[in-house]
Amino acid sequence: MRLVRFGAPGEEKPGLLDANDVVRDLSGVVDDIGGAALTPAGLARLKAIEPASLPAAPPGVRLGACVARPGHFIAVGLNYADHAEESGMAIPAEPVLFSKAPNCIVGPNDDVIQPKGSTKLDWEVELGIVIGSRARYVDEADARAHIAGFCLANDVSERAFQIERGGQWIKGKSCETFGPLGPFLATPDEIDDVQKLAMWCDVNGERRQRGSTATMIFGVDFLVSYLSQFMVLDVGDVIITGTPPGVGLGMKPPLYLKPGDVMTLGIEGLGEQRQKVVPFEG
């Protein structure tokens, strides 16, 4: 299945994409794409529904983030060897973990706001993992059973806040609109091999990132297991898993986003996103 949330910001309804990419309304079946709907029992219930029996959403309807606001929005840094190299950082012996504020999550095609005082706004195409059952001290061999699905993410980053302001990376990763998710959550049966997915990101039509999940240092199952040794992962939590090379920070000289720039990005089997950068107002 490919699960979506659609409608105006703050008023999203749950839905799914049928075989013809028509958004079908699930609001008569579940409250949202989160919680019980993402458990194994919840997904089995949704999978049993004939999509044509559901009402269609209006054509061109806005898509929100594909998961209702998670309790945890965890990110993995430097998880591609070639990205670590371009960043001038050593390949980590263990995963580098940081948090993004859950309220930075937005829809896949919503505007990205350049925050007040920002000078080094950057892009990062990433694979997202959505948790489907509570994970606590999970073995790597059992990790896949705790995954509800996968999605496309843009780990928007403000490098000056992240690197030059001291403390934790969270301050450069959590600004308003810094977490586009979607367009859809793909259940694991939709993906042949999550560790062999092509990924890309363009800025203003020019290819900046090209990579594959095959070059991740720490794979999907390992990351779920590893994280569960340090925290309990609950249903609906989101983990984004690192980015391939080609970010603005790694260019020579570095190149950063400005208002009016447009990011387009995608991962094989997980759809595409498009965000325009707009200035902070207020």
216 backbone dihedrals φ, ψ, rounded to 5°: -60, 140
CA distance 3 to 282: 34
For residue 45, being part of any structural domain is answered with: no
- 66 pLDDT band, cuts 50/70/90, is very high
CA distance linking residue 199 with residue 282, whole number of Å:
35
Is the confidence at residue 85, as pLDDT, over 90? no
Q: Would residue 27 count as lying in a domain?
A: no
Question: What confidence tier does 83 reach under pLDDT thresholds 50, 70, 90?
Answer: confident
In a domain, 32, yes or no: no
> Where in the sequence is the domain holding 181, given as residue range(s)?
67-279
Find all residues with CB under 8 Å of 195, minimum gap 6, and list them. Answer: 213, 214, 216, 219, 220
* CATH number of the domain enclosing 76: 3.90.850.10
Give CA–CA dist 188/191, Å, rounded: 6
Of the listed ranges 79-88, 199-208, 220-229, the one predicted with least confidence = 79-88
Q: Where are the beta strands (DSSP E) in 53-109?
A: 73-77, 96-99, 105-106
Average pLDDT over residues 46-59: 97
Predicted pLDDT at 235: 98
Interatomic CA distance for residues 22 and 185, integer angstroms: 15
Residue 274 pLDDT greater than 80, yes or no: yes
* Structural domains counted in the chain: 1
Reported as a single tens digit per residue, the pLDDT across 28-52 is 999 999 999 999 999 999 999 999 9
pLDDT in tens, 94-141: 999 999 999 999 999 999 999 999 999 999 999 999 999 999 999 999
Q: Is residue 25 part of a domain?
A: no
In a domain, 46, yes or no: no
Residue 149's DSSP bridge partners are: 130
- Structural domain contains residue 20: no
Domain-embedded: residue 171: yes
Residue 81 clears pLDDT 90, i.e. is over it:
no
Would you say residue 255 lies in a domain?
A: yes
Angle at 140 between CA 138 and CA 146, to 5 degrees: 55
230 closest CA partner among 99, 137, 144: 137
Predicted confidence at residue 82, as pLDDT, reads 78
Strands 2-6 and 185-186 come out as: antiparallel
Using one digit for the tens of pLDDT, what is the confidence trace for 235-257? Answer: 999 999 999 999 999 999 999 99
The pTM of this model reads: 0.97
C-alpha closest to that of 122 among 89, 92, 81, 77: 77
